[in-house]
Amino acid sequence: MSRHEAKFIQGIIKYVLNKLDREYLDVPEHLVGMDQHARNLLDFLSTPTDDVHIVSILGRPGIGKTTLAKVVFNQLWYGFEGSCFLSNINERSEQFNGLALLQKQLLDDILKQDVANLYCADKGKVLIKERLRRKRVLVVADDVAHPDQLHALMGDRSWFGPGSRLIITTRYSSLFREADRTFQIKELKPDGSLQLFSWHAFKDSKPAEDYIELSKKAVSYCGGLPLALEVIGASLFRKKKDRWESEIDNLSRIPNQDIQGKLLISYRALDGELQRAFLDIACFFIGIEKEYVAKVLGARCRRHPEGVLETLRERSLIQFHKCYIKDESQLFGEMVAMHDLLRDMGREVVCEASPLHLGKRTRIWNKDDAWNVLKQHKVSKS
């Protein structure tokens, strides 16, 4: 066999494996309160029609919009010619060339090939229209905040082939008026809230007998918000009763609408090393490969960075998502993820340490802030 033939066969094998080896998106183990929403969405999107259907999932931060979109995506992707889940669009689009990179992921995921580098969002729009208009695809645009983000990724139904399905998650009700249907996600009811809290605080569907009243108090302060129930529940896992009473008392002092203030209690319950790691991730390492993050954390005088990451995951402060790594030796790895409410809370902790003087902050993640500090020689020992 010649070298050319061998290379050709390897190319065929890689193509077939790419078609067959689809990794399901990670979803939480306990999907309390999601069943009916998922059934309604699936019923609507599964209706046989050649029309391009667009749905929006609407709700406040931490309510479970992304989780619902992942559940539906896992159920539907295999029925399409191509599929793509574009996560954290609002944050990623703010990075350098962010919209073009999102367009490239959309094309790469659906076409199952490495599309030439994109450096211009206008060129990306043309490529999407040219290459996807005859394909029946499933696309999820997660955490959309501005019209220009949507226009760059799914500007018109005609960009996608007949029977395509487009799902948008957003917190802004006025963002996408052309959706065929909007699914509003509400807070969990008391029974569902207690169940979700218990899965994280007790690893069971209901609280321990002598913790029932304390659990109900904690749940009442979380306002039915799944993220708060998970994080606060996980922070109380294996804690003694007096610690529960202290932290629930702290929760009661914070206004119900101040969810970040409630999440801050879980951050303050961490020891110094875990706090530093959490802030590092919130500022720099969201969406970065887990192995790389562990190496950097280890270099910052942390003896067991893998244990640190695992502890933060157990406390529901970070997650690990499978991701594709362009490396011949490893096709899939894990990426460190964090909910945007937790990210914003961590960054606010850093800002509050020095509200007016950027150079005195312990971490600077915004490129404009970094440039100003370096340009004006305001770097401090922090």
Tokens 């340490």 found at: 353
State the pLDDT at residue 303. Answer: 73
pLDDT above 80 for 146: yes
**Does residue 329 belong to any structural domain of this protein?**
yes
pLDDT of residue 377: 61
What sign does the CA torsion over 164, 165, 171, 172 have? Answer: positive
Question: Which domain-ending residue is among 184, 202, 217?
Answer: 184
Q: Flag whether 24 is in a domain.
A: yes
Query: For the chain, what is the domain count?
Result: 3
Looking at residue 361, its pLDDT comes to: 79
Three-state DSSP string of 73-126: HHHHHHHCCEEEEECCHHHHHCCCCHHHHHHHHHHHHHHCCCCCCCCCHHHHHH
Q: What is the mean pLDDT of residues 7-18?
A: 51
Last residue of a domain, one of 184, 202, 226: 184
Region 101-125: mean pLDDT is 88
> Is 274 part of any domain?
no
**296: enclosing H helix or E strand:** helix 290-299
Residue 174 has pLDDT above 80, yes or no: no
Which of 157, 184, 211 terminates a domain? The answer is: 184
Percentage of the residues of the chain whose pLDDT score is greater than 70: 89
- Same domain, residue pair 60 and 23: yes
What's the confidence (pLDDT) of residue 23?
A: 59
* DSSP class of 142: -
33 and 119 part of one domain:
yes
* 297 assigned to some structural domain: yes
With 80 as the cut, is the pLDDT of residue 322 above it?
Answer: no
- pTM value? 0.81
Yes or no: say if 188 and 196 are a contact pair by the CB < 8 Å rule.
yes
CB 33 within 8 A of CB 196: yes
Crossing angle between the packed helical segments 98-111 and 147-154, to the nearest 10 degrees: 30
Q: What mean pLDDT comes out for the span 35-42?
A: 91
- Distance CA(228)–CA(223), nearest Å, equals 8
List phi, psi (to 5°) of 217: -65, -45
- Whether residue 218 is found in the same domain as residue 115: no
Judge whether 382 lies within some domain: no
Query: Is 24 in the same domain as 166?
Result: yes
Say how far apart CA 332 and CA 346 lie, in whole Å. Answer: 28
- Mapped onto helix, strand or coil, the DSSP state of residue 321 is strand
Give the SS3 label for residue 364. Answer: coil
Residue 125 CA to residue 98 CA, distance in Å, equals: 14
Backbone region of residue 166 per phi and psi (left: phi > 0; alpha: psi in -120 to 50; beta: other values):
beta
Rg for the chain (alpha carbons), in Å? Answer: 23
Which burial class, exposed, middle or buried, applies to 87 when counting CB atoms under 10 A from its CB (0-12, 13-18, 19+)? buried
Least Cα distance to 149 among 182, 176, 174 occurs for: 176
CA distance 80 to 136: 6
| Residue indicated by tokens 């501005």 | 146
* Residue 178 reports pLDDT greater than 80: no
Same domain assignment for residues 25 and 115: yes
85 & 145 share domain: yes
- Do 52 and 119 reside in the same domain of the chain? yes
Q: Is the pLDDT of residue 5 over 70?
A: no
Range of the structural domain that residue 44 is part of: 3-184
Q: Tell me whether residue 53 is in a domain.
A: yes
Annotate 150-166 with b (16+ C-beta within 10 A) or e (fewer): bebbbeebebbbebbbb
Residues 189-198 have a mean pLDDT of 94
Better pLDDT: 303 or 161: 161
C-alpha dist (Å) from residue 100 to 96, 123, 248: 9, 8, 45
Q: Of 236, 168, 139, which Cα lies nearest the Cα of 197?
A: 236
Q: Give the domain CATH number at 121.
A: 3.40.50.300
- In sequence order, the β-bridge partners of residue 86 are 141
Asked whether the predicted pLDDT for residue 7 surpasses 70, the reply is no
272-315 pLDDT, tens per residue?
Answer: 889 999 999 999 999 889 999 999 999 876 778 999 999 999 99
Strand partners, 53: 165
- For the segment 17-29, the average pLDDT, to the nearest whole number, is 64
What residue ranges in the chain does DSSP mark as E strands?
53-58, 82-86, 137-141, 165-170, 181-184, 319-327, 330-337
Residue 31 burial (10 A CB sphere; 0-12, 13-18, 19+): middle
**131 and 224 share one domain:** no
Q: Are residues 208 and 306 in the same domain?
A: no
Give residue 327's pLDDT. Answer: 46
Q: In the chain, what are the helix, strand and coil shares in percent, each to the nearest 5?
A: 55, 10, 35
CA distance linking residue 177 with residue 110, whole number of Å: 26
Let me know if residue 275 belongs to a domain.
no
Domain identity same for 48 and 23: yes
**Same domain assignment for residues 100 and 213:** no
Average pLDDT, the chain: 85
**What pLDDT is recorded for position 223?**
85
Q: Rounded to an integer, what distance in angstroms lies between the CA atom of residue 102 and that of residue 149?
A: 10
Same structural domain for residues 125 and 172?
Answer: yes
Task: Calculate mean pLDDT across residues 48-65.
Answer: 92
Q: Is residue 324 part of a domain?
A: yes
